[in-house]
């Protein structure tokens, strides 16, 4: 049988703040992170890449977050899907 990994998803984030996005975290269910998120300097792009387990009848989902340096804010984005289609959402939240 082929690879144990299937559909690949890449989420790109543009840092439109004047602060560093740091303390990044990523988690995924029914898949793996293959390119981990990194700190994103002000005005630059960053990304994270994951893959769903192949040959399963389940979808996968993941959450990625960064702290906004020197602010009490967190950037959070998520992706959920079953195949090459899916939903992506994101927001900035107060740090709790």
E runs forming strands in 15-85: 21-29, 31-35, 45-53, 60-68, 73-81
CATH architecture label of 5-91: Sandwich (2.60)
> What pLDDT tens digit does each residue of the chain (96 aa) get?
457 867 778 888 999 999 999 999 998 888 889 999 999 999 999 999 888 887 777 777 888 999 999 888 998 888 776 555 566 666 666 766
Global model pTM greater than 0.85: no
In terms of C-beta density within 10 A (0-12 exposed, 13-18 middle, 19 or more buried), how is residue 64 classed? buried
């Amino acid at each position: 049988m082929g690879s144990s990994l299937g559909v690949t998803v890449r989420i790109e984030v543009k840092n439109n703040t004047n602060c560093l996005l740091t303390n990044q975290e990523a988690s995924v269910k029914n898949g793996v992170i293959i390119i981990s998120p990194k700190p994103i300097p002000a005005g630059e792009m960053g990304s994270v890449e994951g893959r769903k387990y192949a040959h399963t009848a389940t979808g996968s989902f993941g959450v990625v977050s960064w702290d906004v340096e020197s602010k009490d804010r967190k950037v959070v984005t998520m992706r959920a899907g079953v195949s090459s289609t899916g939903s992506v959402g994101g927001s900035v939240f107060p740090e709790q």
